[in-house]
Structures are given as structure tokens and as C-alpha cells.
């Protein structure tokens, strides 16, 4: 386990009392107030096994009114509340840190409030699972482009509070850009009614965007109006082999020029990631005949037709071959094959687990600087840990690289992971030098809270703290996370 500095303060909290537990439980009713260890367990472990959670109580409210009552009581009794969606977060933001904190699960708040096919909006409650939101859009003949590895489990509320990214950002933007309005319960128990379905609305300060990305520290998002898009008439997907990140950047340039708004994904994968995926994914097959140093998975989506998508993709690859940018490319010949290609990308995250300890980075730099970042970081981490295996992959079109480092073969896992923050420091220094961000799409949570406080200019940190004080004067909402 990597050290988490914020746990000490939470450790000092006494467990919540039986009396308080009963008062909270009365709000949701006993069936939705979990305290038996076996029922608590799924809420207390998270995907990275880095932040084991502790709590005496998980509340599963079924309405905004119940959430309002819970927060009002928490505020009155100064009880810390940790909002939790699908529990897929990668930075420990959704984990309670002591038995003095209670978990507020949004899972039961999962109604569809409205589907507006003409205005192309979908209004859902926070607990709706992302894949379900995608399905609802599809059912309305439309498309909701937010797409993440965890989409079968993660929830809209969590997506918004963490301003989730994913593979669709290149063409459609982050979760922030996909949301027109939010409803939220404030720590006081008051409800902010902001479910606006308007494309233009300049009535005062932008509370929506303040809540989005605040990781549940300012308010609990209970519902949102999501933007839907016309469903593409055709898609074309290619797996491309290239010699370098520079070549990938050149291919991106050609793709954006010829593809325009039709370029909907552009994922970069280092050979090491490809190797792990082939090794650990049953039935996985290299789409290309030979190994390459780098791979790109790209997708074109056309509003017009399948033919337009294919022709556009072929035109892009044709020009790239002629210009010597790409070494090899395979175009998916069927929907099944396209899915297989995507599968290769999606399995990257899991394929690292059997290889031992992995030190993670979720960084972004201006797009044009990605090759320089990869070169400099590669040199630095190899100097620090000879034999380290670099599993760099990510959304090149967004300048967002998941710069993951698997331990050297045969190394001691615990000793390797002990160097987490040291290696973070090396990589993040290079990111800072390139005007990048050490937190691109996974958020701050527990993992990067200290780093945020240390690196953000004082003027901005002070504003953030004062805003936190405005919303949550008793610091009951997700303390020890982000701020």
C-alpha cells in the first residue's frame, strides 16, 4: 500500500455513535442503512486496492429529500459524509477513511427524469449507470458519447463530480462539456435546482461547472441534464503500427485535417502495453503481422454513411502511408473486428495487474509536446529504476497519457511501490516543465491531494479553500479528498 497522508486526521475521528447511526438510519429506513460487515464490504474496496475503506454506515437514500435530510443532519452533527457512485474511482476519492465517516451511496437514485429527443437532452439521476445512459440515448435514436473502461459500473453522478474523460473527449469533450445543468444537495441540506436544458443561459456565476469536478466536496450532485448527439451513421476503426510518438502526432494531424469532426478516437499505445495485453488476454490476437514500437487505435464516425466513414479512414491512411508516417495498418472489416480492436485497448488496464506492481500517472501536456514528454520521462524513470517497464498509453488527441510503470521483472513489489511518490515526483516535474497537468482525468482524491496543495499557486489554493468554506463551512463533505 502506498502511503496516504490524509488518513491520519481521519484516524483521529471517533467512530460514529450508535445513537447517531440510528438517527441517520431512520432517514432511509433500516433496509437502506447498511452496517453489517458483509454488506459494507463492497463499498470499502476500490479498483486499485490502495485505499482500504472504513466506515460503520452506508446509507442508500432513494430520493433527493432523503439526501437533503441526511446532509442536514450530518451538518448539524458535523459528521463527515463520503458520496459514492459506482465505486470505480482510481484516486481514492470515494472511500471513507474511518468509522467516523459515513458513506452516501447514490445507487438507488437512478430514475430517468426526462428524454427530450428534439432538444437532444437526457435528464437522469446521479445513480444511473453510464452504460444505461448510453443505452437510453440509443433508444431515443441518439448518442451519448461519454465512454470509459468502467462504463458498465460507474455512475453519472461520479462521472460529473470527477469530470470524467475517456475516449470520446477528442470529438465531444469531457463530462463537463456534456452536461447542461445539475441538481445538487448542499451540505446545509438545501437543494440547488439547476436542471437547465438550455444551450445559452447567462444568469450569473457558473455554479454548474464549480460542482462538476469538485469530487463531492462542495455538494452532492443528484441529477443532471446530459447533452445527446446525432447517432453516427457509420464507423470505421483502424489499428496502426508506427515507429514513434512523433509519427503518431503526424498521423493525428492528417486525421484531423481529412477527418474533421469525424475523427472520434485517437489512442496511442506503447509496444509494452501491447505485449502485456497479448500475454494476458485470452484469445487476444495482434491485428498487425509484425511488432511495432508504437500503436494507434483510431476511429472515424460519419453522420452520412458507413461508406463515408470507410472512405475517410482509407484516405487518411493512404496519405499517411505515402508520407511514410505509418508502418502498417489494419482496418476492421466487421463490427466484430472493430470490437476486438477496442478490446485490445480496454484490456490494457487489467493486463498490467499480473505483471506486478505498477506506479501510475495520469498526466496531460499540450498535444504537440507529447513526444517530448515521452522521451524525457522515459530517460528519467529508466535512470531511476533500471529495467522498469513503461506502459504508456492514452488519448493522444487530448494530450493525455496514462504513464504507467510496471516493476522490473523479478523485482520486489512492495519495495517498488514504496517508490510511488518519488517516481511521481520525477515524472510530474517533467510534466510541469511542459505546462502540463499531473491530474488529467482521474481526479485528485486522496492520491494527489498533498501534491495539489504543494503545487497550486497560493492565490488559487486560497480561493479554493474560501469557496469550500462558502459551500461547506463545517467541512462535512468528503473531507481529506481534493482540498
Assign 124 to helix, strand or coil: strand
Q: What does 202-244 look like in DSSP terms, one character per residue? A: -SSS-HHHHHTTSTTSS-EEEEEEEE-EEPPSEEEEEEEEES-
Q: Which of 197, 343, 353, 372 binds its own copies (CB under 8 A)?
A: 197
Residues touching its own copies: how many (CB under 8 A)? 86
Strands 102-105 and 58-59, bridge-based pairing: parallel
Contact segment (CB under 8 A) with its own copies among 44-52, 72-80, 209-217, 236-244 equals 209-217
CB of 372 to its own copies, least distance (A): 12
Q: How many angstroms separate the CA atoms of 405 and 423, rounded? A: 9
Report if residue 261 touches its own copies, rule: CB under 8 A.
yes
Min CB(347)–its own copies separation in Å: 22
Ranges within 391-420 binding its own copies (CB under 8 A):
395, 397-400
Instruction: Please answer whether residues 197 and 180 qualify as being in contact, where contact means their C-beta atoms are separated by less than 8 angstroms.
Output: yes
> Is position 331 an interface residue for its own copies (rule: CB under 8 A)?
no
Pick between residue 22 and residue 463 the one whose CB is nearest to its own copies. Answer: 463
Cell digits of residue 273: 502495453
With beta carbons less than 8 A apart as the criterion, state whether 437 and 18 touch.
no
Residues 156-195 as x/- pattern, contact with its own copies by CB under 8 A: ------xx-x---x---xx-xx--------x---xxxxx-
From candidates 353, 464, 474, 475, binder to its own copies by CB under 8 A: 464
Only one of the segments 79-87, 103-111, 211-219, 277-285 lies at the binding site for its own copies (rule: CB under 8 A); that segment is 211-219
Nearer to its own copies, 1 or 463 (CB): 463
Note whether 230 binds its own copies by CB under 8 A.
Answer: yes
List CB contacts of 125: < 8 A, sequence separation 6 or more.
106, 109, 110, 111, 112, 113, 156, 157, 222, 223
Minimum distance between the CB of residue 232 and its own copies, rounded to whole angstroms? 8
Return the number of the residue (173 or 356) whose C-beta is nearest its own copies: 173
Distance CA 250, CA 259 (A): 14
Among 47, 52, 62, 119, binds its own copies (CB under 8 A): 119
Kindly identify the residues of this chain, within the stretch 289-308, that bind its own copies according to CB under 8 A.
302-304
Nearest CA among 195, 226, 251, 273 for reference residue 397: 251
Would you count residue 459 as binding its own copies (CB under 8 A)?
A: yes
Closest CA to 392 of 471, 274, 313: 274
Amino acid at each position: 500500500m502506498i502511503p496516504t497522508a490524509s488518513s491520519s486526521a481521519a484516524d483521529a475521528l471517533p467512530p460514529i455513535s450508535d445513537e447517531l447511526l440510528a438517527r441517520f438510519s431512520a432517514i432511509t429506513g433500516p433496509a437502506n442503512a447498511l452496517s453489517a460487515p458483509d454488506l459494507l464490504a463492497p463499498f470499502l474496496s476500490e479498483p486499485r486496492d490502495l485505499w482500504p475503506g472504513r466506515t460503520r454506515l452506508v446509507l442508500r437514500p432513494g430520493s433527493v429529500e432523503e439526501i437533503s435530510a441526511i446532509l442536514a443532519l450530518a451538518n448539524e452533527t458535523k459528521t463527515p459524509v463520503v458520496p459514492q457512485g459506482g465505486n470505480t474511482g482510481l484516486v481514492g476519492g470515494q472511500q471513507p477513511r474511518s468509522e467516523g465517516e459515513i458513506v452516501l451511496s447514490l445507487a438507488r437514485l437512478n430514475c430517468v427524469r426526462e428524454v427530450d429527443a428534439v432538444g437532444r437532452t437526457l435528464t437522469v439521476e446521479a445513480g444511473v449507470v453510464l452504460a444505461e445512459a448510453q443505452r437510453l440515448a440509443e433508444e431515443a435514436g441518439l448518442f451519448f458519447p461519454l465512454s470509459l473502461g468502467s462504463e458498465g459500473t460507474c455512475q453519472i453522478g461520479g462521472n460529473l463530480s470527477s469530470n470524467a474523460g475517456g475516449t470520446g473527449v477528442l470529438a465531444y469533450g469531457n463530462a463537463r462539456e456534456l452536461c447542461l445543468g445539475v441538481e445538487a444537495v448542499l451540505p446545509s441540506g438545501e437543494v440547488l435546482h439547476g436542471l437547465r436544458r438550455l444551450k445559452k443561459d447567462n444568469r450569473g456565476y457558473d455554479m454548474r461547472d464549480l460542482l462538476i469536478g469538485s469530487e463531492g466536496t462542495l455538494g452532492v450532485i443528484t441529477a443532471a441534464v446530459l447533452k445527446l448527439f446525432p447517432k453516427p451513421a457509420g464507423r470505421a476503426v483502424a489499428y496502426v503500427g508506427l515507429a514513434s510518438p512523433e509519427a503518431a502526432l503526424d498521423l493525428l494531424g492528417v486525421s484531423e485535417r481529412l477527418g474533421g469532426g469525424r475523427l472520434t478516437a485517437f489512442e496511442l499505445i506503447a509496444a509494452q502495453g501491447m505485449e502485456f495485453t497479448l500475454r494476458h488476454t485470452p484469445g487476444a490476437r495482434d491485428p498487425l503481422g509484425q511488432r511495432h514500437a508504437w500503436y494507434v487505435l483510431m476511429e472515424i464516425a460519419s453522420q452520412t454513411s458507413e461508406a463515408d466513414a470507410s472512405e475517410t479512414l482509407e484516405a487518411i491512411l493512404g496519405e499517411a502511408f505515402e508520407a511514410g508516417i505509418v508502418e502498417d495498418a489494419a482496418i476492421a472489416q466487421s463490427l466484430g473486428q472493430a470490437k476486438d480492436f477496442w478490446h485490445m485497448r480496454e484490456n490494457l488496464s487489467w493486463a498490467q495487474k499480473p505483471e506486478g506492481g505498477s506506479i501510475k500517472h495520469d498526466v496531460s501536456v499540450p498535444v504537440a509536446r507529447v513526444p517530448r514528454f515521452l522521451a524525457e520521462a522515459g530517460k528519467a524513470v529508466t535512470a531511476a529504476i533500471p529495467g522498469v517497464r513503461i506502459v504508456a498509453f492514452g488519448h493522444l488527441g487530448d494530450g493525455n497519457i496514462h504513464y504507467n510503470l510496471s516493476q522490473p521483472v523479478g523485482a520486489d513489489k512492495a519495495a517498488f511501490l514504496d517508490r510511488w511518490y518519488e517516481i511521481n515526483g520525477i515524472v510530474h516535474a517533467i510534466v510541469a516543465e511542459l505546462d502540463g497537468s499531473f491530474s488529467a482525468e482521474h481526479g485528485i482524491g486522496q492520491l494527489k491531494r498533498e501534491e495539489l496543495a504543494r503545487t497550486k499557486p497560493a492565490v488559487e489554493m486560497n480561493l479554493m479553500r474560501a469557496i469550500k468554506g462558502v459551500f461547506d463551512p463545517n467541512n462535512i463533505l468528503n473531507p481529506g479528498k481534493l482540498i
